Amino acid sequence: MEDRMTGKSLDIPARPYTGEKSRLSRAYDYLILVLALFLFIGSFHLHVALTVGDWDFWQDWKDRQWWPLITPLMMITFPAAVQAVLWPNFRLPLGATLCISCLLIGTWITRFFAYHMWNFFPINEVLPATMLPSALVLDAILMLSNSLTVTSIFGGMAFALLFYPTNWPIFGMFHVPVEYGGAQLTVADLFGFQYIRAGTPEYLRIIERGTLRTYGQYATPLSAFCSALLCTLMYPLWWYLGKAFATTKYVKNI
Amino acid sequence: MSVTTEVAGRSRAEVEKVVDLRGMWIGLAVLNGFYLIVRIYEQIYGWRAGLDSFAPEFQTYWMSILWTEIPLELISGIGLAGWLWKTRVRDMSTVTPRQEMKAIADNAAWLVVYAAAIYWGASFFTEQDGTWHMTVIRDTDFTPSHIIEFYMSYPIYSIMAIGCFFHAKTRIPYFSKGYSIAYLIVSIGPFMIIPNVGLNEWGHTFWFMEELFVAPLHWGFVFFGWMALGVFGVVIQLLLNIHRVIGKEGVELLTGA
């Protein structure tokens, strides 16, 4: 062991073991990776579609008040659970990124092949939001700090606070105002009006409508910080939920 | 030491391969091929015959699928579990480390196909239903999308989960006595989505809601969807067994520790 710490050990070429057991363990690596890929696309996507679905589906739901509040809050769940397994057990610092990548693969396939190719909604109306930058930061904070507390507070906050800025380059262009029938709309609103949805009347949208208690110009940062606080709580909750699912316990009878 | 292990391993490898993924590839090909056909079918007959459930062509092209798939799935599920049980290893004390290793690899392959089935059911066909809800004002519980999502893709992955569970229970010594809680969660959790479909259809039928996809009525699916995470515990149990079977020497060879 001491020898490895000296400079000389670097000169010794690495000769990894290539026997049968090595091939075997490689095979498990691939099997488990593919398993994880499909499984997280499936279960995480189900979770997201039924908790933030409508905001994520439609351009005209992506507002300043609810979308940046709900999306990080519901999307930090599975990443925290997966991190709780991959980091302490295997020191793999990619739990959140793996989860979010899986989610994006799943949503993109469905948006394209179902929303667009089957029911002909234009792809620009049904673009999914991205949490990829947030997930990368979350993974990096866990890897560097190796601390649940630090990751909960700073990782959870970063996860939520980065959401709106990193999505702005994708969705900003749909906020351009247009005059339509004498009224002012955004391009996103126009999408909602033009491409008829049988079950989503305009009033169903859960989006910012303004209140007399709101100082109008701060909606987005306020939602982002509210979400940040909630994410710091959601993160440890789902960390321990992930731990619980990783149980190796047995029962005698069912 | 490593040389002798390699030589011994190689000569035995000719006798019986530990990692044999033919079954997995066949499973994946059949599953993906089948769903591809389903997707093409709904592209054609969703629009041609699936818009009005009171029309006779709806019976021909959609209800016929429903009436066929349900008994077929029931028989397949029971048949699969029965076959796995019938062909079980009767005396686990006769299982050699090599056979045990193969059984663990086979189970991982089963889980891959299970996960692919989860992908189609929980991801593709579930969110696909979100767009069909925006295409028709539905006039039946059994829309084309529901016939595929609830009554085809969900039962298929439930059957796969049952298969994974029974395969482990009947082939791997570690799982043969008692019940792994994680494996129970993996196999029973998704199954609970099927009764939840009943609740969902009932709620939609008697309290027509505007089509909010994130409606509380759908949260049962979310809860049962979490159960797929039980695969954490299952994979860790598989890895613990690999670690044990591969032995101290094997671990040293692999990690260089």
A22–B9 CB contact, under 8 Å: no
> Residue range A6-15: average pLDDT?
60
How would residue B206 be classed by pLDDT, with cut points 50, 70 and 90? confident
Q: Measuring CA to CA, how many Å separate B95 from each of A23, B156, B177?
A: 22, 31, 14
pLDDT of the residue at A212: 87
Q: Which pLDDT band holds residue A89 (cuts at 50, 70, 90)?
A: very high
Q: pLDDT band at residue B194, thresholds of 50, 70 and 90?
A: confident
Picking from A121, A141, A87, A79, the residue whose alpha carbon sits closest to that of residue A104 is A79
pLDDT of B7 over the 50 cut: no
- Residue in A110, A204, A245 closest to B230 by CB: A245
Mutation target to probe the B interface, by most B beta carbons within 10 A, among A18, A30, A39 is A39
Q: Given an 8 Å threshold on Cβ–Cβ distance, is B108 in contact with A28?
A: yes
pLDDT tens-digit readout, A60-87: 999 999 999 999 999 999 999 999 999 9
**Residues whose CB falls within 8 Å of the CB of residue A205, separated by 6 or more in sequence, listed in order:** A54, A58, A60, A61, A63, A192
**How close is the nearest chain A Cα to the Cα of B122, in Å?**
5
Cα–Cα nearest to A33, from A83, A102, A88: A102
CB B20 within 8 A of CB B102: yes
pLDDT at residue B150 tops 90:
yes
CB proximity list for B180: less than 8 A, separation 6 or greater: A248, A249, A250, B168, B233, B234, B237
Quote the CA–CA distance of A184 and A125 in Å, as a whole number.
Answer: 19
Q: What is Dmax (Cα atoms) for chain A?
A: 79
What does the buried/exposed string (b/e) look like for A125-143 if buried means 16 or more CB atoms within 10 Å of the residue's CB?
Answer: bbbbbbbbbbbbbbbbbbe
Of B194, B188, B187, residue with least CA distance to B164: B187
B190: Cβ contacts below 8 Å, ≥ 6 apart: B118, B154, B157, B158, B161, B224, B225, B227, B228
Q: Rounded mean pLDDT of chain B?
A: 89
Helix and strand numbers, DSSP H then E, in chain B? 13, 1
- With beta carbons under 8 A apart, name residues in chain A contacting B146: none
State the pLDDT confidence band at A254, using cuts at 50, 70 and 90. Answer: confident
Residue A5 has what pLDDT? 53
Q: Do B236 and A85 touch (CB under 8 A)?
A: yes
- Shortest Cα–Cα distance, B208 to chain A (Å): 11
Measure A65 CA to nearest chain B CA, in Å. 17
User: Does residue A1 carry a pLDDT above 50?
Assistant: no
Residue of chain B whose Cα is closest to the Cα of A52: B214
Give domain B95-256's CATH architecture. Up-down Bundle (1.20)
In the block, residue with structure tokens 């579609």: A49
User: Could you please report the per-residue DSSP string of A48-95?
Assistant: HHHHTHHHHH-GGG--SSSHHHHHHHHHSHHHHHHHHHHHHHH--TTH
pLDDT band at A215 (very low <50, low <70, confident <90, very high): confident
- For residue B105, pLDDT beyond 90: yes
Angle, CA A123 vertex, CA A122 and CA A127 arms, to 5° = 135
pLDDT at A7: 56
Answer whether residue A8 shows pLDDT above 90.
Answer: no
- Contact list in B for residue A110 (CB cut-off 8 A) is 123-124, 127-128
Residue A221's nearest CA partner among A149, A141, A157 is A157
Give the mutation candidate from A77, A118, A202 for the B interface (greatest B CB count, under 10 A).
A118
**Rounded distance between C-alpha atoms, residue A4 and residue B61, angstroms:** 69
Which of A116-120, A211-215, B26-30, B230-234 bottoms out in mean pLDDT, i.e. has the lowest? Answer: A211-215
Q: Which of B111, B181, B229 sits opposite A251 (nearest CB)?
A: B181
- Residue B125 is predicted with a pLDDT of 95
> What is the count of residue pairs from A and B with beta carbons less than 8 Å apart?
226
Cβ–Cβ below 8 Å for A19 and B5: yes
Residue-wise pLDDT for B114-142, tens only, equals 999 999 999 999 999 999 999 988 888 89
Comparing A12-26, A169-183, B104-118, B178-192, the range with the smallest average pLDDT is A12-26
**Is residue B104 a contact partner of residue B242, using CB atoms and an 8 Å limit?**
yes
Collapsing DSSP states into helix, strand and coil, what is residue B88?
coil
* pLDDT, position A85: 95
Give residue for tokens 């609830």. B150
Distance from the A221 Cα atom to the nearest Cα atom in chain B, whole angstroms: 24
Task: Give the mean pLDDT of chain A.
Answer: 91
pLDDT tens-digit readout, B24-53: 999 999 999 999 999 999 999 999 999 999
pTM for this entry: 0.90
**Segment holding A251, helix H or strand E:** strand A250-251
pLDDT value at A19 more than 50: yes
Q: Do B119 and A52 touch (CB under 8 A)?
A: no
Share of chain B above pLDDT 70, in %: 92
* DSSP H or E segment with residue A183: strand A183-186
φ and ψ of A64, to 5 deg = -100, -20
Q: Phi/psi at A177 (nearest 5 deg)?
A: -80, 145
pLDDT over 90 (residue B256) = no
B148 to chain A nearest CA, in Å? 13
Structure confidence at residue B4 (pLDDT): 46
Summarize the confidence of residues B107-111 as an average pLDDT. 95
